[in-house]
Structure 1
Amino acid sequence: MLKRPPISALLAALVLAALFLWLLFGDIQRFQSEPPESQEASTDSLPRIEFRQSHASSHQPQLVTQGQLEALREVTLLTRRDGRVAELPVEQGDSVEAGATLLVLSRDALDAQLERAEAQLELARAELSGAADLRRRDLISQPEYLRLQSSVSVAAAELAELRQSLDETHPTAPFDGVLDRLEVELGEVLQVGESYGRLIDDSRLKASAWVAQRRALELRPGLPVEVRLLDGSRLSGELSHVARRADEATRSFYIEAELDNPERRRLAGASATLSITLPERSVHRLSSALLELDERGQLQVKHLDEEARVVATPVELVEADAREAYVAGLPEEIRLITLGGGYVEPGDRVVAVPEPSADSAPDEESL
């Protein structure tokens, strides 16, 4: 005969079953009356960045390069004939005007040769004059008459050469300047082509330098140039020449600028720093640390679009110094990512927080 379970055990089992059914049907009822929670991602899971409003502004970039100064006009003086130094009318360091005699060479037999050449020319002309009358009467042949004409031409050429040689015994200054070097003494014998001095016109100076090929396209004659000297003083002028062809070894371009030197300071041959003022550009100013390289090695800047998504825009570096960079190629106004840009990629949606300022605390913006 089977033994029945106690009544207390049956009662406990019924209570547990009822409790289970109540819990089960109660949750179903709640699920039917309340919608499930949204599965959209919380803003807490989005990366946070800081940004600031950046507005484009006009900027006058400067191209700075190292160069050297030279006198605008400088010439090494060379003799054009042999001769002994007879006079030195100008001393080393003297200022001279164009056409002033710098040196006098001895004439030696030049005067006698000149008198003989003048006589030869006079004789040849007289013979030709008499032959002309005979030729009209057919008393001399045409070849004989032409020979006499040739004699006049030869005598005239010899006389011109001797007169030129006479002029070359006292060479003159080709332009206003200073006789910077005088390398001969009285009585010294000079040969043709030998140097006897150097003439310099430093009332204006020429600054020369080389610039990288990527910057040469920005240059044109007429741009303002300021030259800073080693003592801190400055001279002003303008760009006068930009080479049309790069140097084969360095791929850089040669440039020249002309400068006023009203005080006639002794600056020719000195080194200097050239600052060339380039045409105005519309740029954004930002920290150099915010510049990045894309996959092609092009500079880019990250900023936000209207939906708080990251945008990377290629830029051109116009100018940079130790504190900031000036870049072109961005829209007129942007929300520039200033913090956290290294952790986000183009297209990412972010939580954007305005950059802290001295006037206001940051105000979180979930966009």
Structure 2
Amino acid sequence: MRQQRFSRLPFSYLLASLLLLALALWLALGDFNAFRRDAPADTISEPAPTRVEIQQIESMDYTPVQVVQGELEAARDVALRASVEGFVQDKPVKQGERVSQGDTLLVLDNDALPERLKEARDNVELARAELAGAEKLRRRELIAKSELLRRRAALSQGIAEVARLEKQQADTRPQAPFAGRLDRISVDLGELVQPGEEWGRLIADDTLKGIGWVSQQDVGPLEEGQRVTARLLNGNALEGTLTHVASRAEDDTRSFYMEATLANPEHRGLAGASAELSVELPTRRVHTLSPALLRLNDSGELSVRHVGDDDCVRQSAVELISADTDRAYVAGLPDPTRLITLGAGLVEPDDPVKTVPADGANQGER
């Protein structure tokens, strides 16, 4: 009877019972492979090294340039002032003409001065004769020593007066203290000039001074004797040398005054013009690369990632010597350097990599 009842059970019930039994056995026994201490030998594999593009670069000599905004001044710029009173009698040099040292620039007329000078010279001759007679009398002890001394003092005073008047006479014909250009004459013929009055201006234009102010961050490499190029707004340039760098910064700006001497062989009138002063700094050995390859390390320093001889990533801190929109010039890399030009952002220092030569010039990460 039971056998007949069992055989009458639907086939679907039988199939469900078998599946339930199999599930119970799987839950009871579990996946024995999960409890094995060691994975199967055929499941262990090392990760493939990351592919990076590299380019080998070598160091080169590079002369960095410190650019300072400044202006040009005449090497010597003197206001000419009258030393004596007089009427303008002649102007031997026209305004704007070049003169040599010692040339007469102006002639003043002082009618009383020649007579005064003649009188002073006559007084000197008289004092000299009286002194000679006093010395003879003193040798014979016919006059006191004090009288002899008074005669000597009178002669000295006479000589000093002649020198003073001769200086005044020379001042009526002022001469050029140096070679240059008589840039301005501000008096006319017949005009009365008073002592101390400015009547002209003399400028030495064979050389110019380039002056500027340098920040305290940039003044360190500057030294006297370095080559300087002054570029003007019209594109012209003057060459010279750095002749002075202040030892103390200005209190209000914390910047340092600098001065360069520039040759102006064509005597161009450039005093007062604005100029860009480019100072050549000492030559350095540098590597050149794209600015996009620069990064900051954990210490906040600029660094570059490259590949060592063991094909592992290296990250070296560098000093940025100069940079523009296309190139960066850095110091601190080994020479030569296998520079990572593509893929540096996918690896970390000491990671092994598979290197592929870069096509063409250096490029940034992509």
The structural deviation recorded for 1:308 is 4.8
| Match of residue 70 from structure 2 | 67
Indicate conservation of the 8 Å contact 1:338/1:355, yes or no.
Answer: no
| Match of residue 335 from structure 1 | 338
Partner of residue 188 from structure 1, selected from 188, 191, 194: 191
Instruction: Output the CA distance in 2 between the equivalents of 1:88 and 1:217.
Output: 51
| Match of residue 9 from structure 2 | none
Q: What SS class does the counterpart of residue 206 from structure 1 fall into?
A: strand
Once the two structures are superposed, the pairs formed by residues 134-145 of structure 1 within 5 Å of their partners are 134-145=137-148
**AA aligned opposite 2:356:** P
The structural deviation recorded for 1:317 is 1.6
The structural deviation recorded for 1:162 is 0.8
1:129-171 Cα distance to aligned partner (Å, 9 max, x none): 1111121122222222212211111111111111111110110
Indicate conservation of the 8 Å contact 1:78/1:193, yes or no.
Answer: yes
Alignment coverage as a number of residue pairs:
346
Indicate conservation of the 8 Å contact 2:311/2:355, yes or no.
Answer: no
The structural deviation recorded for 1:348 is 5.0
1:318-355 Cα distance to aligned partner (Å, 9 max, x none): 1111211101122212233334545655x452545436
**AA aligned opposite 1:183:** S
| Match of residue 255 from structure 1 | 258
Indicate conservation of the 8 Å contact 2:312/2:353, yes or no.
Answer: no
| Match of residue 80 from structure 1 | 83
| Match of residue 362 from structure 1 | none
Instruction: Output the CA distance in 1 between the equivalents of 2:296 and 2:86.
Output: 70
2:290 maps to 1:315: no
**AA aligned opposite 1:337:** I
Indicate conservation of the 8 Å contact 2:51/2:356, yes or no.
Answer: no
Once the two structures are superposed, the pairs formed by residues 1-367 of structure 1 within 5 Å of their partners are 36=41, 42-43=47-48, 50-294=53-297, 297-341=300-344, 347=349, 349=351, 351-354=353-356, 356-358=358-360
Query: Are the structure 2 counterparts of residues 352 and 100 from structure 1 closer, same or farther at C-alpha, using a change threshold of 3 Å?
Result: same
Query: Are the structure 2 counterparts of residues 294 and 113 from structure 1 closer, same or farther at C-alpha, using a change threshold of 3 Å?
Result: farther
Q: Quick check: 135-144 or 163-172, which moved more?
A: 135-144
**AA aligned opposite 1:127:** E
1:47-81 Cα distance to aligned partner (Å, 9 max, x none): 76544333222212222222222333322211122
The structural deviation recorded for 1:309 is 4.6
Instruction: Output the CA distance in 2 between the equivalents of 1:212 and 1:87.
Output: 51
**AA aligned opposite 1:101:** T
1:76-129 Cα distance to aligned partner (Å, 9 max, x none): 211122222222121111222211111111213111211221122122212211
Instruction: Output the CA distance in 1 between the equivalents of 2:149 and 2:346.
Output: 99
Identity of aligned residues (%): 47
Q: What SS class does the counterpart of residue 217 from structure 2 fall into?
A: helix
The structural deviation recorded for 1:280 is 1.8
**AA aligned opposite 2:47:** S
Query: Are the structure 2 counterparts of residues 140 and 298 from structure 1 closer, same or farther at C-alpha, using a change threshold of 3 Å?
Result: farther
Query: Are the structure 2 counterparts of residues 166 and 56 from structure 1 closer, same or farther at C-alpha, using a change threshold of 3 Å?
Result: same
Indicate conservation of the 8 Å contact 1:51/1:352, yes or no.
Answer: no
Q: What SS class does the counterpart of residue 198 from structure 1 fall into?
A: strand
Instruction: Output the CA distance in 2 between the equivalents of 1:33 and 1:281.
Output: 58
Indicate conservation of the 8 Å contact 1:110/1:166, yes or no.
Answer: yes
1:16-63 Cα distance to aligned partner (Å, 9 max, x none): 99xx8xxx9xx89xx8999545767624xx776544333222212222
Indicate conservation of the 8 Å contact 1:303/1:335, yes or no.
Answer: yes
RMSD (Å) for aligned C-alpha atoms: 3.8
Indicate conservation of the 8 Å contact 1:48/1:352, yes or no.
Answer: yes
Query: Are the structure 2 counterparts of residues 134 and 358 from structure 1 closer, same or farther at C-alpha, using a change threshold of 3 Å?
Result: closer
The structural deviation recorded for 1:224 is 2.8
Query: Are the structure 2 counterparts of residues 34 and 278 from structure 1 closer, same or farther at C-alpha, using a change threshold of 3 Å?
Result: closer
TM-score (norm 1): 0.80
TM-score (norm 2): 0.80
Indicate conservation of the 8 Å contact 1:75/1:198, yes or no.
Answer: yes
Stretches of structure 2 lacking an aligned partner (at least 5 in a row): 7-13, 362-366
Query: Are the structure 2 counterparts of residues 343 and 211 from structure 1 closer, same or farther at C-alpha, using a change threshold of 3 Å?
Result: farther
Indicate conservation of the 8 Å contact 2:207/2:263, yes or no.
Answer: yes
Q: What SS class does the counterpart of residue 158 from structure 2 fall into?
A: helix
Instruction: Output the CA distance in 1 between the equivalents of 2:125 and 2:229.
Output: 63
Indicate conservation of the 8 Å contact 2:306/2:338, yes or no.
Answer: yes
| Match of residue 365 from structure 1 | none
Stretches of structure 1 lacking an aligned partner (at least 5 in a row): 360-367
Instruction: Output the CA distance in 2 between the equivalents of 1:116 and 1:32.
Output: 130
